[in-house]
Amino acid sequence: MTHICLIDAHPDPADHLCHALADAYAEGAREAGHSVERIDIAKLDLGFLDKVSDFETHPPEPVLSEREKIKRADHVCIIFPLWLGNMPAKAKAFFELAGCGNFFLETGESASSWPKQMMKGKSARTIVTMGMPGFAYKLVFDAGALKALERGLFGVSGFKPVRHTVLGGVEQADEKTRKKWFQNIHHLAQAAE
């Protein structure tokens, strides 16, 4: 059994594909006997970091409690829509706040020492939805948001392996395509990847 932290990072609480994908992932994981703790970004009242020194202190609630779900997890799955080429600002704010107080990285005693990776032993998956075709995002836009998240947060803090799923053309997708997406997400969750 794998303990999973599922992060639904769509900031709007109304019905959206990301929420339905998160539900499908949770269902598939539980069916396979995995435990799931969920973070719903849309339900959190979040502020933003204003200065670098904020990283040295623990974050305020509700982030302080919610990030414990990441700490307890063996595997983290984040689902978000691509907005203006990146994850929504509220999702990014959550990760910045969660990272405060040496949560993802423990800084060394000197500026020349490499930070300690606090997430070693955990794996991660990113599922990103977008209006443009997935191949265009990878080819033309170089999958920038994915690379930033996978290398800049997951990789640097020790998550391994780090995988992703890109679902493009979501507004034009027919029922058959969406059904295939949900089956794929369900399968990934059962495998805890």
Is the model's pLDDT at 109 over the cut of 70?
A: no
Q: What pLDDT does residue 75 have?
A: 98
pLDDT-derived band at 24, boundaries 50, 70, 90: very high
Is the model's pLDDT at 88 over the cut of 80?
A: yes
Query: In a 3-state reduction of DSSP, which class is residue 129?
Result: strand
CATH for 3-190 is: 3.40.50.360
In one-letter notation, the amino acid at residue 9 is A
Arithmetic mean of pLDDT, 17-35: 97
pLDDT-derived band at 136, boundaries 50, 70, 90: confident
Is the model's pLDDT at 114 over the cut of 90?
A: no
Output 76 or 113, whichever has higher pLDDT.
Answer: 76
- State pTM to two decimals: 0.94
Share of the chain above pLDDT 90, in %: 75
CA 92 and chain centroid, separation: 10
In one-letter notation, the amino acid at residue 138 is K
Is the model's pLDDT at 5 over the cut of 90?
A: yes
- Could you report the per-residue pLDDT of 157-179, keeping only the tens digit for each? 999 999 999 999 999 999 999 99
Bridge-based pairing state of the strands 105-106 and 116-117: antiparallel
Output 28 or 84, whichever has higher pLDDT.
Answer: 28
Q: What pLDDT does residue 139 have?
A: 74
Report whether 13 contacts 43 (CB < 8 A): yes
Q: What pLDDT does residue 187 have?
A: 95
**Mean pLDDT over the full length of the chain:** 92
- Could you report the per-residue pLDDT of 54-71, keeping only the tens digit for each? 888 899 999 999 999 999
Rg, C-alpha atoms of the chain: 16
Share of the chain above pLDDT 70, in %: 97
Q: What pLDDT does residue 79 have?
A: 98
Q: What pLDDT does residue 80 have?
A: 97
Query: In a 3-state reduction of DSSP, which class is residue 177?
Result: helix
